[in-house]
Structure 1
């Protein structure tokens, strides 16, 4: 039995290129950072209210960072890595 050469085997076609995946990884890291910033602020005792849950970081900053991360993900999906720069 002969082994087939690798020259005839087709290469798998990926939807995205390396640049797309790098930008996607950056977007996922930004989204994760936003969720990390949202964490905490709870109270150990359910009878005690902790107003830290409504501070700027959890109400304004973290959701904004998550939305920016989703924007980066959309950009990564729409990015055309084969596009040439005009010179």
Structure 2
């Protein structure tokens, strides 16, 4: 059985330049400048913690076992603070 081709009842409208809504308001980002600054600082702190963990000599040093993981976790915590911090309200 062959299917019957039907045309739509109403014509399809295409968007033109005049029908597209233009927005004159500036783009509002989710994060503020301070949020991005904290996020970059947290990435640097995490990278510094991994640098403290690296190396082959004296693998049981207190720097590699205790201090470096605390620095990495502190960097991740700072990243969470950067994400969850609300931007300042503009008056």
- TM-score w.r.t. the length of structure 2 is 0.66
Matched, 1:77 2:83: yes
Q: Give 2:28's aligned residue.
A: 13
- Number of aligned positions between the proteins: 69
Q: 1:78 to 1:62 in 2, by over 3 A?
A: same
CA distance in 1, matches of 2:46, 2:24: 39
Higher relative contact order (CA 8 A, sep 6+): 1
Gaps of 5+ in 2: 1-21
The answer for the alignment partner of 1:39 in structure 2 is 54
Offset, 1:63: 0.4
What 5-or-longer segments of structure 1 have no aligned partner?
Answer: 1-6, 43-51
